[in-house]
Amino acid sequence: MTDGTSDETAVLITGTRPYGGDPVDVLLSDGRIAAIAAVLARPDGARVIDGAGTVLLPGLVDLHTHLREPGREDAETVASGSAAAALGGYTAVFAMPNTEPVADTAGVVEQVRRLGEEAGLVDVQPIGAVTVGRKGAKLAELSAMANSAARVRVFSDDGDCVSDPLLMRRALEYVKAFDGVIAQHAQEPRLTEGAQMHEGELSARLGLTGWPAVAEEAIIARDCLLADHVGSRVHVCHLSTAGSVDVVAAAKARGTRVTAEVTPHHLVLTDERAVGYDPVFKVNPPLRTDVDVQRLRAALADGTIDIVATDHAPHAVQDKECEWDQAKPGMLGLQTALSVVVDTMVRPGLLDWRGVARVMSENPAAIGGLADHGRPIAVGEPANLTLVDPDATWTVRGAELASLSVNTPFEGMELPGRVVATFLRGRPTVLDGTLAAVQAV
């Protein structure tokens, strides 16, 4: 501090490279970025972090997280999911509403937000259900959730599709009033009855009912047309097929207000993982073909797909370690997402670090309406930041992850890139790759 007083909340990061650029010192104070220069003096009382060799990014934002609380605290809690998020470099997550009870009222979304504030590791922004109980029969209290203390702006029945076109139209009309967005789980239900994996030669050989690509593509096409008609925003959850990329690209070309996400696992894993019937690889939408994987990577690189979202889906042991057809779909993702993106997009040269910031922080924050996240690394901006060692590698061990569940598809794999530190409003939530002592935000 220049006035001679001590600033014990200040953090000076030395020699880090914002967006992978030239090394600089970055000073955080009072929750914001206070200074950036080639060399900065250490303020009295400030913590100093050696950032040599690291890349500094805006804090990551996940638009698609399942935190399971209330109702399934045996699989995940808001606190444990927040810890996993912070360790994965996230400063904000959007919590999907398929809890028990379903987050379809102002009371439940406010409860989820309060639990996030109590955990204090990331900003937890609830997503409200589109329909009552996610049953697809009657619209939920969209305006009440939007006007609640949780200020919900994203609505989804994720896990189920809003398949009724009239309900989807009405939902799009409601959220337009407050610039909200409907995040659709694109799955035509009649075409996927009993589906267990991607429909193709392999599903026939394994004797598992197929989930055809057209079941996703048809709903995306319908919803883009409805969004056009209403003039509202629609977001495609976990887009998984090459054909879906074509549909979204065509809609964007004609001006539709559509955005789309891809999961890390759909960027690297294929339906071949179903051989062996290991339920850890069962997910919805299913793992697709290598042709789809390569197209998804290209679409993320060229901007057709806007963001990476984890679809972090913890499941208790009894729900996952069972016969394939009985297992619940879903995979952990918060602590491995950045490393998978480094492996599949950065190392092959499809994205640079500015691109990573765009698809994992800036765009998801903008879609979800979070004003203080996904901001530029510049003086005066909120100090929600992530420090990454791009050269580090680590081996994934499900039992060592912060989630209460262990259903990671990357068990035993060595992945590149490691989160060194995470800062929420200038306060370290992660230091040296481990959770920091948490104080009130």
State the catalytic residues: 311
How is residue 126 written in tokens? 């609830």
Who contacts 173 (Cβ-Cβ below 8 Å, separation ≥6)? 230, 232
Q: Which three-class secondary structure state does DSSP give residue 423?
A: strand
Other beta carbons less than 10 A from residue 160's beta carbon: 18
User: Distance between CA 270 and CA 287 in Å, rounded?
Assistant: 5
How is residue 426 written in tokens? 């200038």
Could you please report the per-residue DSSP string of 217-275?
HHHHHHHHHHHHHHT-EEEESS---HHHHHHHHHHHHTT--EEEEE-TGGGT--GGGGT
In the annotated binding site for Zn(2+), the residues are 64, 66, 158, 185, 238, 311
Who contacts 11 (Cβ-Cβ below 8 Å, separation ≥6)? 27, 28, 29, 46, 47, 48, 49, 383, 423, 426, 428
In the annotated binding site for substrate, the residues are 66-68, 98, 284, 315, 329-330
Q: Quick check: bond before 101 cis, omega within 30?
A: yes
> For the chain, what percentages of helix, strand and coil (3-state, to nearest 5) are there?
30, 25, 45
| The residue to which tokens 């009295």 are assigned | 44
In the annotated binding site, the residues are 64, 66-68, 98, 158, 185, 238, 284, 311, 315, 329-330
